[in-house]
Amino acid sequence: MEKKLKPIPKFKNEEEEANFWGTHDTTDYFDWSKARHVVFPNLKPSTRVVTFRAPQGLIDHLKVIANKKDVPYQSLIKIYLDEKVREEMST
């Protein structure tokens, strides 16, 4: 016999929805055995401008490395930050 799923409530905004899912078990609302993998190839992650101070020497070194790799130095900073954060999160 299949489990009877609860109806998903209507939410006023994303914050209300986030609060709901933070305190409820999704298995009461979804049958995950029927879930399918979906790819959104054109979905771009949202970004936010962040300003921080770094020693000029560090920025100069980053620019040299970025030039060797043929990438903008700000992109290189994002790559390095992402790698380090993933490393820290996996420990």
pLDDT tens for 4-43 read 999 999 999 999 999 999 999 999 999 999 999 988 888 8
pLDDT at residue 42, rounded to an integer:
87
- Is the residue at 38 inside a domain? yes
Instruction: Output the CA torsion 78→82→85→89 (10° steps).
Output: 160
Q: Is residue 6 part of a domain?
A: no
Is there a domain that residue 2 lies in?
Answer: no
Q: What pLDDT was estimated at residue 64?
A: 98
Instruction: Work out the pLDDT band at 47, boundaries 50, 70, 90.
Output: confident
Q: Is 3 contained in some domain?
A: no
SS3 content of the chain, % helix, strand, coil (to 5): 50, 0, 50
What is the number of domains present in the chain? 1
Q: Which two tokens stand for residue 16?
A: 């209300």
**Residue 21 pLDDT:** 96
Q: Which domain holds residue 81?
A: 14-89
